[in-house]
Amino acid sequence: MATRRKQGDVPVTRELSPGVRLHLLRTNRFTTSHCRVVLHRDLGPEAGATAVLASILESATAHHPTRHALAHRLADLYGASLHVGVSKMGDRQLVVGALDWPTAHVPRAKSQLAAGLELLREVWSEPKQSMAGGVEVLDPELVETERVNHLRTLRGMRDDKGRYALRRCVASVCENEPYGLEVQGREADVAAMTPASLAALHRRLISTAPMEIYLVGDLSLREAVAGVRRHLLWSGRAPRPRGLPAVSSVRAARPRARRIVERDDITQGKLVLGFRGAIRPGTALGAAAETLAGVLGGGSYSRLFKVVREEHGLCYYASAGWQRAKGLLLIQTGVEAANAKRAKREILKLTREVASGILDPEALANYRLDLAHRVAALRDSPQAMLSWYQERLGLGLDPSPDAWLARQQAVTPAAVRRAGARLALDTTFYLAPQEA
């Protein structure tokens, strides 16, 4: 439950050691504390093994060697919630471990912060292990369980046809770039890993990966730094973190757009269009590109929804989104096979309209109102706030939601026209029904 006191707008950052930064958002709006530890690594062949490792870390530790034992420990922290997983930010893979636990209005409230941080350290640095040939490896039974589960996850990804089509389009648009890889990795790489190779990956990750720590709670920076140093940080960190590719990289579309068609046992086709432009995040053109995507396909007020879906009835859904880190405009829709060509023509027509700076007044007003509501809603969820700050700080952008909103509200049609001139169609991917 929240109190009435307004929280700070942006986190305060302190570098604790080379490659380790703490970001504190001080607020008493919540009865819980939230801590998120993010390790950065390159997005490459080890993506699948890293995803499996995240599942292992979430499942058991040396002191809580089963899911049941770890669940009991979380219950002891008054119903704390733990999640460890992977995500993608530009050309990097992020390994994220987060704990949310009550630290106000509970017995021994002051000690609860330390207890939560200590558990998070245990999750990261003390996985369940065993001996094999005189060497410590990750627990073979746990590794095999999570390996099989992850293979099932990878094989099941095609079941969500819309997300599959989007991933395939991104893989084509960003061919030969890390961003084109699936953050969950590939089946072949997962199948080849072993308890020993995962143990080596874990040691390398926690010792050399650049680390960001995000903490939300009612405590001072001095208290946060002392608590994190004493209860969360583990020993064995390398003097210098491992070098990584830049998070953001943008480029123009290929000279001639690519068209890919795959067929599947589906009744509704999935059409995805990927546009590229050399538009860097944090620039005036970047803000204009976000407005372009919002007016074009940001919600039920957008041109795609109003025209392609409502006016012409050519699709079941239609949306557009802007990927800041890569300068990508991605448009996705679900269509009947008979309407696919006409739907694409209408989508391209509307894209040219908005990209030329013609901004439908109703769509623009509703897009800006939607942004204001999103920014206001951030303050009600520590998880949402930290996801926002994680992306903004990761891209080197101003983390203030209010400052971002002000820049978006100030975007002009001329700025959208300049951003639109940078965009060109790179890839069309169509997941089509089987031919009769």
Q: What is the DSSP string of 322-368?
A: EETTTTEEEEEEEE-GGGHHHHHHHHHHHHHHHHTT---HHHHHHHH
Determine contact, residues 165/429, Cβ cutoff 8 Å: yes
Ramachandran bin of 79, using left for φ above 0, alpha for ψ from -120 to 50, beta for the remaining angles: left
Instruction: Tell whether the torsion through CA atoms of 7, 389, 1 and 84 is positive or negative.
Output: negative
Q: Note whether residue 120 is domain-resident.
A: yes
* Ramachandran angles phi, psi of 369, nearest 5°: -65, -40
Q: Note whether residue 292 is domain-resident.
A: yes
pLDDT of the residue at 132: 80
Q: Note whether residue 44 is domain-resident.
A: yes
CATH of the domain at 367: 3.30.830.10
pLDDT of the residue at 252: 95
Within 8 A by CB and 6+ apart from 120, the residues are 35, 37, 97, 99, 232
Give me the number of domains the chain comprises. Answer: 2
pLDDT of the residue at 1: 32
Domain of residue 358: give its range. 258-433
Residues 175 and 287 in one domain: no
* Ramachandran angles phi, psi of 246, nearest 5°: -60, 145
Residues 193 and 287 in one domain: no
**Domain final residue pick, 232, 250, 284:** 232
**Domain final residue pick, 197, 232, 267:** 232
pLDDT of the residue at 241: 94
Task: Tell me, yes or no, if the pTM score tops 0.85.
Answer: yes
Strands 129-132 and 92-102: unpaired
Residues 99 and 189 in one domain: yes
The whole-number mean pLDDT for each consecutive block of 10 residues of the chain, a chain of 436 residues, reads 48 96 93 95 95 97 96 96 97 97 83 95 96 88 96 93 96 96 92 93 97 94 96 95 93 96 94 97 96 97 96 94 97 95 97 98 97 93 92 93 96 98 98 83
**Domain final residue pick, 232, 247, 272:** 232
Residues 194 and 320 in one domain: no
Q: Note whether residue 242 is domain-resident.
A: no
pLDDT of the residue at 435: 78
Residues 143 and 199 in one domain: yes
Residues 82 and 173 in one domain: yes
Residue with tokens 């491992």: 242
Residues 209 and 323 in one domain: no
Residues 366 and 418 in one domain: yes
Q: Note whether residue 244 is domain-resident.
A: no
Ramachandran bin of 327, using left for φ above 0, alpha for ψ from -120 to 50, beta for the remaining angles: left
As a whole number of angstroms, the distance between CA 163 and CA 276 comes to 19
Reference 56, options 183, 226, 197; nearest CA is 197
Residues 176 and 262 in one domain: no
pLDDT of the residue at 29: 87
pLDDT of the residue at 424: 98
Q: Note whether residue 243 is domain-resident.
A: no
Residues 210 and 335 in one domain: no
Reference 38, options 250, 247, 321, 249; nearest CA is 247
Residues 211 and 88 in one domain: yes
Within 8 A by CB and 6+ apart from 383, the residues are 34, 98, 100
pLDDT of the residue at 8: 54
Residues 344 and 228 in one domain: no
